[in-house]
Amino acid sequence: MSPPVAPPGWSRWLVPPAALSVHLSIGQAYAWSVFKPPLESALGLSGTQSALPFQLGIVMLGLSAAFGGTLVERRGPRWAMTVALVCFSSGFLLSALGSATEQYWLIVLGYGFVGGIGLGIGYISPVSTLIKWFPDRPGMATGIAIMGFGGGALIASPWSAQMLESFGDDNVGIALAFLVHGLTYAVFMLLGVLLVRVPRTARPVAGTPAVSNGPQVSARSAVRTPQFWLLWLVLTLNVTAGIGILEKAAPMITDFFADTSAPVSATAAAGFVALLSAANMAGRIGWSTTSDLIGRKNIYRVYLGVGALMYALIWLLGDTSKPLFVLCALVILSFYGGGFATVPAYLKDLFGTYQVGAIHGRLLTAWSTAGVLGPLIVNWVADRQEEAGKHGPSLYGTSLVIMIGLLVIGFVANELVRPVHPRHHEPGPGTPKEAADDRRQQSESA
Amino acid sequence: MTGDSSQSPPSGDRRGLIAFSWLWVGIPLGYGLYELVRKATQLFTG
């Protein structure tokens, strides 16, 4: 399958919905928890067992994005979206079979392994194409798509819950729900497959900079540069800091205000968690778009510097004011989302568009690392504090200080990012081709 | 939204396609956001 080239008159505003149709679907992964309790009771599973499909899915996301990125660049976005559609939907269909026949390993294999490949390939599938269509606003373009990944869980969570309520939460009901998910997501993602196009020229919109400007670095060369690993560290630490709040959001707000005149109920804590999801999503589009105006390095200075300040405010003053606590947590979560969404544009600035999707795929291993590191730190510290007989806000003091430290290290790493040395640049990075494209475009316009 | 957005101005058909594709993704997202807002208000009322 060759990359689908846009016909004359094709609008670049058709590409973000194509990307969203994929990201809104695969974002369902973060709503897996809806299936956990029914699976546990229907198939007699433990909590750890019922988390396996999700955990394997996230591992496969990282691996397939890292190892499949170059193939995605070569075959193009339509191929990648097709693979994502087939894998993600097949994962649900295999899970339906597994649930109907009470073969849990099929659910792990289907949702976790096969579906996980769909997650990774789907996640990186539109990135490079969006950057090529929006060379003037790469942060906004990738922000829209990556916001979709956050939005996917918002849609799937209530939708899946309603479906389980209708079909029943025994193994047959769960199988039916998986089946409907697989079929619906296949149809929904099809829009992306059909709509996505790569631009005909290096300058897709008159008056915008050509996308082949600047250094062009291959994925293989990029991972040999300090810039890649500094960004890897920045992303790992920013995500770890966000997970630090996400992982313990509900118990944290409850513990912080347990001894005050206005304790937080379980219902209100659930509302707090929902609000954090909104901040995460808003940060993806809002901060990433802002990065087009103030620059990538500056926006990461904000994520890491102001993020550390927000953590310090929670640590020092969090239990004195509920609005202050909520506000700081919301800002931290918006930076968490922003960090994810801005990184493709940062990579484009450093390494060019040549293999930015593949480089992004390799960088996503930072996500997997943070996914392990963040919960590990927060849970381990909270357990030790509890054993030491602490309660309330003091349960989290050490975690908060660790998070501040991580963000400061991330801030320093971001400061160390410099333009990539020319020895890593691809030879003959398209300047003549770009000129030829421009001449062709001008003659077509004339 | 479409004025500066293509290699040449989109035809009427393309405008319809743009509207359709944004509705395709916008309607489910709107549903998700509505459910989110409903849940988030529990922080202030719960």
Q: What is the DSSP string of B1-46?
A: --TTSBSSPPPHHHHHHHHHHHHHHHHHHHHHHHHHHHHHTHHHH-
Q: Give residue A429's pLDDT.
A: 46
Tokens of A148: 């979709």
Chain A contacts to B (CB-CB under 8 A): 6, 8-14, 17-18, 20-21, 24, 148, 151, 154-159, 188, 191, 195, 199-201, 204-205, 207, 265-272, 274-275, 277-278, 326, 441, 445
Specify whether the CB–CB gap between A89 and A185 falls below 8 A: yes
pTM, 2 dp = 0.85
Per-residue pLDDT of chain A (446 residues; tens, 9 = 90+): 677 899 888 899 999 999 999 999 999 998 888 898 999 999 999 887 888 898 889 889 989 998 998 899 899 999 999 999 999 999 999 999 999 999 999 999 999 999 999 999 999 999 989 998 999 999 999 999 999 998 898 899 899 999 999 999 899 999 999 999 999 999 999 999 999 999 987 666 665 655 555 788 999 999 999 999 999 999 999 998 888 777 778 888 888 888 888 788 888 888 888 888 889 999 999 999 999 999 999 999 999 999 999 999 999 988 888 889 999 999 999 999 999 999 999 999 999 988 899 999 999 989 888 877 787 787 788 788 888 888 888 888 888 999 999 999 999 999 999 999 888 888 864 444 444 444 454 444 43
B6 - beta bridge partners? A11
Q: A328 to chain B, minimum CA–CA distance in Å?
A: 15
- What's phi and psi for A397, nearest 5 deg? -50, -50
Domain with CATH 1.20.1250.20 in chain A: 12-195, 219-424
Give the pLDDT of residue A377: 81
Chain A residues with CB inside 8 Å of B17's CB?
Answer: 14, 195
Contact indicator for A116, A94 with CB cutoff of 8 Å: no
Above 60 in pLDDT, residue B22? yes
Q: Do A14 and B39 touch (CB under 8 A)?
A: no
Around Cβ A421, how many Cβ atoms within 10 Å? Answer: 12
Of the candidates A13, A11, A14, A26, the residue with the CA atom closest to the CA atom of residue A194: A14
User: Regarding the domain with residue range A219-424, which homologous superfamily does it belong to in the CATH classification?
Assistant: MFS general substrate transporter like domains (1.20.1250.20)
Q: Which among A61, A363, A69 has a CA at the least distance from the CA of A238?
A: A363
Picking from A350, A343, A315, A345, the residue whose alpha carbon sits closest to that of residue A425 is: A350
CB contact under 8 A, A191 and B44: no
Do residues A30 and A23 touch, judged by C-beta distance below 8 A? no
Q: Which residue of A has its CA nearest to B33?
A: A154
Beta bridge partners of A30: none
Which phi and psi (to 5°) does residue B18 adopt? Answer: -60, -45
- Tokens (6 digits) for B3: 């004025």
Nearest of A3, A119, A134, A5 to residue A60 by alpha carbon = A119
Whether the Cβ atoms of residue A264 and residue A396 lie closer than 8 Å to each other: no
Task: Encode A334-367: b = buried (16+ Cβ within 10 Å), e = exposed.
Answer: bbbbbbbbbbbbbbbbbbbbbbbbbbbbbbbbbb
Bin A417: left if φ > 0, else alpha if -120 < ψ < 50, else beta.
beta
Chain A within 8 Å of B35 (Cβ-Cβ)? yes
Q: Given this model, what pLDDT does residue B36 score?
A: 87
For the question of an ipTM over 0.90, the answer is no
Distance CA A50, CA A33 (A): 9
| B46 in A contact zone (CB under 8 Å) | yes
Best probe of the B interface among A15, A25, A154, A160, by most B CBs < 10 A, is A154
Q: A5 - beta bridge partners?
A: A198
Query: Tokens representing A306?
Result: 């102001």
- Taking the C-alpha atoms of residue A39 and residue A50, their distance in angstroms, rounded to an integer, is 7
pLDDT, residue B2, reads 38
What burial letters (b/e) apply to B9-44, b meaning 16+ CB within 10 Å? ebeeebeebbeebbebbeebbeebbebbeebbebbe
CB A361 within 8 A of CB A73: no
- Average confidence score pLDDT of chain B: 77
Q: What is the CATH number of domain A12-195?
A: 1.20.1250.20
Q: What is the pLDDT of residue A265?
A: 84
Among B43, B44, B45, the strongest candidate for a mutation testing the A interface, having the largest count of A CBs within 10 A, is B43
Per the CB < 8 A criterion, the answer to whether A271 and B39 are in contact is yes
How many Cα atoms are found within 13 Å in the side-chain-facing hemisphere of A98? 20
Say if the Cβ atoms of A270 and B39 lie within 8 Å.
yes
Q: Which of B7, B24, B46 sits opposite A9 (nearest CB)?
A: B7
Q: Which chain B residues contact residue A10 at CB under 8 A?
A: 6-7, 10, 14
Q: Dig out the tokens for A282 from the structure.
A: 């808003």
Q: Do A20 and B29 touch (CB under 8 A)?
A: yes
CB pairs under 8 A between A and B: 119
> Chain centroid to CA A109: how far?
22
> CB-CB: which of A9, A156, A272 is closest to B43?
A272
| Cβ proximity of A377 and A407 under 8 Å | no
Give chain A positions within 8 Å (CB) of B9.
9
Q: How far is CA A178 from CA A75, A108, A118, A263, in A?
A: 30, 13, 16, 39
Cα-flanking dihedrals φ and ψ of residue A216, to 5°? -120, 120
